[in-house]
Amino acid sequence: MEQEKDGHRGRLRSRYLKAGGDGFTDYDIIELILTYAIPRRDVKPVARELLRKFKDVAGIMDADAKEISEISGMGSNSALLFRLMRDICVRYLENKVRDVDVISSPEKLIDYARMKLAGYADEVIMVICLNTKNHVIDAEIVSRGTIDAAVIYPRTIAADALRKKAAGVIIVHNHPSGVTQPSMADREFTRAVAEALKLLDIHLLDHLIVSRGNAFSFNEHRLLR
């Protein structure tokens, strides 16, 4: 039985080396990851249960580690692996937006913002400070709220941007509902932040609303004028 399990794992790894991720389903990817986290048992039923409960790879990586550890066969160390993978993805995308004009090339920033915030069950606000070349100099989550509201005063954002010597600011916040269309409150908040920053000669360059699958840009829709 042990030799059969080792043989299956070896074949799975060989398939990945030959075909890469494009040749693997979500189930195959999760099973392969679990072979490194759970060395001495059949991981196929664990992979099936993870996908049954969390639907796909993104759902697993966005899930709370405690939720994952409650799956039969998953311990705290195995659950930690998925959290680590998610943090690695965020760090990778964060590195990709360094030394890049994020206004001229917004796709990388949107990918980073979605990965960073989509896993939160409540609404959060992140402030990204840029230099005169529109390169990211700082990105920080400044507020966490309920499932549909996060509160921070515009003057707090402005003061923080001034302290970090920002030339421009991008606000990012998530909509856990998945609907990224801005509310009237989102529009009013954006106007208030733009006015607070303008007093300090700092430009509000965009306000992004993100979910796991979508993003809305105030700049792209010309709502900053």
Q: Where are the domains of the chain?
A: 2-91, 102-217
Q: What is the pLDDT of residue 207?
A: 96
Q: What's the Cα-to-Cα distance from 121 to each of 74, 126, 223, rounded to whole Å? A: 22, 15, 27
Among the four given CATH numbers 1.25.10.10, 3.20.20.80, 3.40.47.40, 3.40.140.10, the one describing domain 102-217: 3.40.140.10
Contact 83, 65 (CB under 8 A): yes
Q: Average the pLDDT over 182-188 and give the result.
A: 93
Q: Average the pLDDT over 46-53 and give the result.
A: 96
Spell out the alpha helix ranges (H) of 127-198: 154-163, 184-198
Contact 96, 108 (CB under 8 A): yes
- Triad 203, 204, 206: Cα angle to 5°: 140
Check pLDDT > 60 for residue 64: yes
Instruction: Identify which has the larger pLDDT, 140 or 5.
Output: 140
Contact 182, 223 (CB under 8 A): yes
Q: What is the pLDDT of residue 212?
A: 84
Neighbours of 48 (CB within 10 A): 13
The distance between the two most distant Cα atoms of the chain, rounded to a whole number of Å, is 71
Predicted confidence (pLDDT) per residue in 78-134, tens digit: 888 898 999 999 999 999 898 899 988 889 999 999 999 977 888 999 999 999 999
Mean pLDDT over the full length of the chain: 90
Name which of 5-9, 61-65, 138-142 the model is least confident about: 5-9
Spell out the alpha helix ranges (H) of 56-141: 57-62, 65-69, 76-96, 106-117
Q: What is the pLDDT of residue 5?
A: 58
Q: What is the pLDDT of residue 200?
A: 96
Check pLDDT > 90 for residue 150: no
Q: Average the pLDDT over 50-79 and give the result.
A: 90
Contact 169, 140 (CB under 8 A): no
pTM given for the model: 0.82
